[in-house]
Amino acid sequence: VYEEARKTDWKRYGEQMAAYKAQLTPAQAAALKEERRKQLAKRRSIRAKRELNLLGKPKRARSGFNIFLSENFQESEGISPVAKLKKLFDTWQKLSTSQKQPYLQLAEDDKVRYENEMKSWEAKMIELGREDLVRSKKQRLKKKPAETTKQAETAKASSAGNKAKFKKSEE
């Protein structure tokens, strides 16, 4: 009995959906398609984050400002959290570099912790056969910007030379 009702309801739904889609303008149809694409992308993103969380990926390193916020948020004045944040942001901006130094040092230590935890986590993921979750070598090394630009320039120059050789050989 329920199977028949389900089938008739499904058929009615299909007819209604076809009628609805037929009366849509192309712009509306495109907007619906784009909205659906965004929803699916968001869902995939949430699933990926949840999976990383379950696999124990380390949390990112905190900045000096984040550490300053966490230490001073409870004592700060302000009714709403937004007001507290604004006040603390202004306070952070007014601090001298010597006053910011302890927070920046803690942030640097946290960055070292994060890098070490990431290395061990990535090794664990490779062991489990999940190389897709491991950062690329370029991200891991993070060379100095000056070195990277020099390498990019030499690569461009050599590729330009190769293109010229290739064109000559075609002729």
Together in a domain, 92 and 74: yes
Tell me, what CATH number does 104's domain have? 1.10.30.10
Together in a domain, 79 and 136: yes
Together in a domain, 72 and 136: yes
Helices (H), the chain: 2-23, 26-54, 64-72, 81-94, 97-127, 137-141, 145-170
Q: Tens digits of per-residue pLDDT, 62-106?
A: 999 999 999 999 888 778 999 999 999 999 999 999 999 999 999
Average pLDDT of span 160-169: 42
Segments forming the whole domain that contains residue 76? 58-142
pLDDT number for residue 161: 45
Together in a domain, 45 and 93: no
Answer whether 119's CB lies under 8 Å from 66's CB.
Answer: no
Angstrom distance (rounded) from CA 91 to CA 107: 18
By C-alpha distance, which of 123, 92, 30, 105 is closest to 62?
A: 105
By C-alpha distance, which of 65, 60, 153 is closest to 111?
A: 60
Angstrom distance (rounded) from CA 35 to CA 50: 23
pLDDT number for residue 30: 96
Higher pLDDT among residues 128 and 140, named by residue: 128
Mean pLDDT, the chain, integer: 85
Together in a domain, 4 and 64: no
Together in a domain, 44 and 15: yes
Together in a domain, 82 and 137: yes
Average pLDDT of span 33-37: 97
Band of pLDDT at residue 135, cut at 50, 70 and 90: confident
Q: Look at residue 169 and tell me whether its pLDDT is greater than 90.
A: no
Higher pLDDT among residues 53 and 163, named by residue: 53
pLDDT number for residue 150: 47
By C-alpha distance, which of 56, 117, 64 is closest to 92?
A: 64
Answer whether 84's CB lies under 8 Å from 91's CB.
Answer: no
Q: Which residue has the tokens 């380390």?
A: 58
